[in-house]
Amino acid sequence: MHKVVLATALTLLSALGIAQNQTSNERPRAADLGINVGVLPRGPLNAITDVDGVLVGQTTIIRGDNIRTGVTAILPHAGNLYREKVPGAVFVGNGYGKMTGSTQVEELGEIEGPVLLTNTTSVSQVADALTTYMIGLPGNEDVLSFNPVVGETNDGYLNDIRGRHVSPDDVFAAIKSAKGGPVAEGAVGAGTGTVAFGWKGGIGTASRRLPANLGGYTVGVLVQTNFGGVLTIAGAPVGQELGQYYLREELQKAGNGRDRADGSCMIVVATDAPMDSRNLKRLAARAILGLARTGSASSNGSGDYAIAFSTASQNRIRTADKALTRHTETVTNDTMSPLFEATIEATEEAIYNSMLKATTTTGNGHTVKALPIEETKGVLKKYGVIR
């Protein structure tokens, strides 16, 4: 059976055995429900692509009854990223993961290619394909070393993860399709087979824009959610009210005590604020606070990583520049606090969007239901989050 792209083949999905309550486009985002996360204004698209120059591309892989996976690509700019690297940093909330490229980013403070997300067992394949893509670009004929940055979550509950079904063509398609504008969310790309808080997880995004008197900078976040805990939305105990949360059975002295909070969350943070890698790492660390606000405790088996980069053109690391020194511009430490708040708020909302936009999915012998919208609205109204 041929590969099916979720966004354009809903009728065929039914034939493939995927339970589909609503299309992703019909399901609301947090803003559509009137959920206000934090105090800062959203960007125009409320997406990572609100950061000037950032592009996102996705390949959704759905085949037969067992394959539910994909690739999501985030490009800091549309040029040759190896020739014009961007300042970057990685922060590890809990290191139970298989992310490639982090040590070189830590050492040099640079990201030299697209940031790719996929499933756990496909990381090496995706990194290999990304390397092939980058060294094959015009102008990179002399490149002898490339550092692929690839993150993952384990989608093995809904996907035949042992089959390692992500191909080089899937990777190339995600990168080549990358564009600005609205970003598809929910059960798409690297989020096709993920699970969050016991409901369907996926890809989510959000942004915050600082007012002019705070610099006017934008922070955008994209997440791949596949973790557990006690779902909380803007302070409302949604997971508890709906009877689905980590340790519920143990606290009620029933069940087998199996940890259901394991999983992972990949967080990509982009900003147009000029920063060096040191302050980008500080920014990435705040993304974990946004993750915590949703009810995650970064359990033992959860790989929680934040990757941050700055798109400020004056700080690009251009390989053609052979000068002995390089002049950069960076916001002051005292300027960072509003950017921290923006990162926390955008991360929190992106996680909500990943679940609200996700649809009920069947695969690999299991069905994971989407977060029920009407029941969730009832809880949010009860706790005064929405009217």
Q: Where are the domains of the chain?
A: 6-382
pLDDT in tens, the chain (387 residues): 344 444 334 333 433 333 333 467 799 999 999 999 999 999 999 999 999 999 999 999 999 999 999 999 999 999 999 999 999 999 999 999 999 999 999 999 999 999 999 999 999 999 999 999 999 999 999 999 999 999 999 999 999 999 999 999 999 999 999 999 999 999 999 999 999 999 999 999 999 999 999 999 999 999 999 999 999 999 999 999 999 988 888 777 654 444 468 899 999 999 999 999 999 999 999 999 999 999 999 999 999 999 999 999 999 999 888 889 888 899 999 999 999 999 999 999 999 999 999 999 999 999 999 999 999 999 999 999 999
Q: What is the DSSP letter of 89?
A: E
Place of tokens 């993860």: 161
Helix axis angle, 277-293 relative to 336-356, nearest 10°?
40
Residue 355 · residue 196 · CB < 8 Å:
yes
Dist CA 30 CA 36 (whole Å) = 8
Q: Which DSSP state fits 47?
A: S
State the Cα–Cα distance between residues 86 and 52, nearest whole angstrom: 13
For residue 169, give the DSSP letter.
H
SS3 363: strand
Residue 95 backbone class (left: φ over 0; alpha: ψ -120 to 50; beta: rest): alpha
Catalytic residue, candidates 24, 302, 310, 354: 302
Cα separation, 160 vs 221, in Å, equals: 28
304 is an active site residue? yes
The CATH architecture annotation of domain 6-382 reads: 4-Layer Sandwich (3.60)
Q: Which of 50, 155, 170, 304 is catalytic?
A: 304
Question: What pLDDT is stored for residue 327 in this prediction?
Answer: 86
Q: Is 384 left (phi over 0), alpha (psi -120 to 50) or beta?
A: left
Catalytic residue selected from 24, 102, 122, 264: 264
Phi/psi-derived region of residue 352, left when phi > 0, alpha when psi is between -120 and 50, beta in every other case:
alpha
Q: Is 302 a catalytic residue?
A: yes
pTM for the model: 0.93
Which parts of the chain are beta strand (E)? Answer: 55-63, 67-75, 84-95, 110-111, 115-119, 149-153, 195-196, 199-200, 203-209, 218-226, 263-271, 302-310, 317-318, 361-363, 366-368
